[in-house]
Structure 1
Amino acid sequence: MHWEDHHEILRIFAPQAFSFKENIDYLSRSTDECMFAIKDEKIYRALALENNTTVLIEISAENDRILEVRFLSGTTPENKAGRAEVARYVREWFDMDTDLEPFYQLAENDPLLHEPTSKFYGLRNVGLPDLFEALAWGILGQQINLSFAYTLKRRFVESFGEKVEGYWLFPRPERIASLNVQDLADLKMTRKKSEYLIGVAQLIANGELSKEKLLEVDFKTAEKMLVNIRGIGPWTAHYVLARCLGFPSAFPIDDVGLQNAIKLMLGYEQKPTKEEILHYAKNWSGWETYATFYLWRILY
């Protein structure tokens, strides 16, 4: 049993290689984050459940590894299924079901991974469990810096999301599917990105695309399904494969952040070539997602 149900409080037991502090430090990297708030080493956020109810939760940690999820403002789900759904979300958000020991063993003698894994031990591939949120974040972040991506996300969420006692829920795909490009004009992003967001929302809203369908197939098939969607190139596809679907071999090799991290680690004057990255990545087979995530972490 990976969690205990105490009705208003859930206790979630993390694996050995887990540090709440490292994960909360990662989540604190942007002051423009709008999907949750962090105060006094506790995370506060709203979650929409499958039965169309919303809960407000506070997540804290005991001894850095036992997470305590407290329901706020009388939003405790009365049935155990609802509480189990929240426990599953938190476990998935912090990727608690992945055994990281083999990755850390691999990283011990790796010239690029040894330093970040030592420095950020216990950091998890903090994900985006909701498929539409992951795709939207990937689209919003295309070809712009991280700071402006957060600005666009905040505008998008505050324009079309739902606010529950001060906390935002990400816009539902059904809401965005009914819009036209002009409805997104005030967000100040490219027309193409507006078209891509609406198109992806429509695919999810009408059932053509779902997280379940992507998880029913293998990695290469899921990648192909994603890149066949208008506006989803290899970078966005691998971002979603890693951050939402949990595929361990997702590898956005053309990512500028990854290139900059390797440049920094090796002391290069120029960004590494694709061939150079592939040379170093030979040892990462089956762990490309985590290798990328830890290298990204040294930049922020």
Structure 2
Amino acid sequence: MTWHEVNDVIVISLPENFDINANLGYLTREKNECMYEIENDIITKVIAIGEIRSLVQVSVINNKQMVVQFLNDSRPIERWKREEIVKYIHEWFDLDNDLTPFYEMAKADPLLEMPARKFYGLRVVGIPDLFEALCWGILGQQINLAFAYSLKKQFVEGFGDSIEWNGKKYWVFPPYERIAQLTPTDLADIKMTVKKSEYIIGIARLMASGALSREKLMKMNFKDAEKNLIKIRGIGPWTANYVLMRCLRFQTAFPIDDVGLINSIKILRNMNRKPTKDEILEISFPWKNWESYATFYLWRVLY
């Protein structure tokens, strides 16, 4: 992690194949996002790590440097806390990952060649907080994306904290400790199924008890982490792989039953039907160890 400070501003060096516009394209795909705001290519977001709550503005200079400014007196005084924020941003944009082998592979791949060229510099944008990633996976099950975003907004604004700045509220995702103490009745105002409420509370309780944590999952290999997630009520292979991909950073994570992935393959291959699972397995054979990136780039084709 290469970073330094100028006055009170953090400056992070960016890897070669990073393009902020490609990433903003992803981050701005839904108007109803409640976890950050983007205006004039500047991202405003609360970064919450444990007790740390910092409202930051993130901008990029020439795709070489990422500049992090603190708003509202929220700059932590201790250097280790600022280091945690840098770590979070590295996680968020997958900055420690060298994508050169991915682009080499994609160049020769009939399906990935176009997206990799067109969206060059896009990273798998992460959700570093495990509880947020799991909730997002569950909220998104079997509904369209726009509805999933409206559920997330209701959940965050109902149970999260916020920092106010310039007359606007910037939200922190509800902590699992708080949700673990609720019952599905407490979530009744949110337009989601009772089942989803039960799943989210169940996960919050597992995390509160220490049985489930990002640290524990990160120590496992891919198959064990996937198995451990699928054992949890409300998490099937799709949600598990989504979380393995966007939070735990397993590059082999592959939500093979994902509707977006299936539709993207259908479009790029001019098919008049959906590809079968066997066909997808065959197509994806060359993507070995880059399945999560291949998926993310194929999703990008759709919006």
TM over 0.5: yes
> Is the 1:129–1:244 contact (alpha carbons within 8 Å) kept by the matching residues of 2?
yes
User: Aligned partners of 1:39 and 1:87: how far apart in 2?
Assistant: 22
Q: CA deviation at 1:53?
A: 3.2
The aligned counterpart of 2:14 is: 14
User: Aligned partners of 2:182 and 2:241: how far apart in 1?
Assistant: 27
> Is the 1:136–1:197 contact (alpha carbons within 8 Å) kept by the matching residues of 2?
yes
User: Aligned partners of 2:88 and 2:24: how far apart in 1?
Assistant: 16
The aligned counterpart of 1:145 is: 144
Counting matched residue pairs gives 299
User: Aligned partners of 1:29 and 1:3: how far apart in 2?
Assistant: 29
- Counterparts of 1:1-300 in structure 2 under 5 Å? 2-6=2-6, 8-50=8-50, 52-165=51-164, 166-300=169-303
What is the TM-score when the length of structure 2 is the normalising length? 0.97
Q: Secondary structure at the match of 2:76?
A: coil
Q: Kindly provide the amino acid, as one letter, of the partner of residue 96 in structure 2.
A: D
Task: Name stretches of at least 5 consecutive residues in structure 1 with no aligned partner.
Answer: none
Q: Kindly provide the amino acid, as one letter, of the partner of residue 108 in structure 1.
A: K
> Is the 2:52–2:81 contact (alpha carbons within 8 Å) kept by the matching residues of 1?
no
Q: Kindly provide the amino acid, as one letter, of the partner of residue 143 in structure 1.
A: Q
**C-alpha deviations, 1:239-274, integer Å up to 9, x for none?**
000000000000011111100000010011111000
Task: Name stretches of at least 5 consecutive residues in structure 2 with no aligned partner.
Answer: none
> Is the 2:264–2:299 contact (alpha carbons within 8 Å) kept by the matching residues of 1?
yes
Report sequence identity in percent: 55
What is the TM-score when the length of structure 1 is the normalising length? 0.98
User: Aligned partners of 2:216 and 2:67: how far apart in 1?
Assistant: 32
Q: CA deviation at 1:135?
A: 0.1
User: Aligned partners of 1:227 and 1:26: how far apart in 2?
Assistant: 27
Following TM superposition, the consecutive aligned residue runs of length 4 or more in structure 1 with deviations greater than 6 angstroms are none
Change (3 A) 1:88 1:46: same
Q: Secondary structure at the match of 2:189?
A: helix
> Is the 1:7–1:76 contact (alpha carbons within 8 Å) kept by the matching residues of 2?
no
Q: Kindly provide the amino acid, as one letter, of the partner of residue 79 in structure 2.
A: K
Q: CA deviation at 1:205?
A: 1.1
User: Aligned partners of 1:267 and 1:174: how far apart in 2?
Assistant: 48
> Is the 1:5–1:83 contact (alpha carbons within 8 Å) kept by the matching residues of 2?
no
Q: Secondary structure at the match of 1:187?
A: coil
Q: Secondary structure at the match of 2:149?
A: helix
Q: Secondary structure at the match of 2:60?
A: strand
Q: Secondary structure at the match of 1:186?
A: coil
Q: Kindly provide the amino acid, as one letter, of the partner of residue 47 in structure 1.
A: I
Q: Kindly provide the amino acid, as one letter, of the partner of residue 75 in structure 1.
A: S
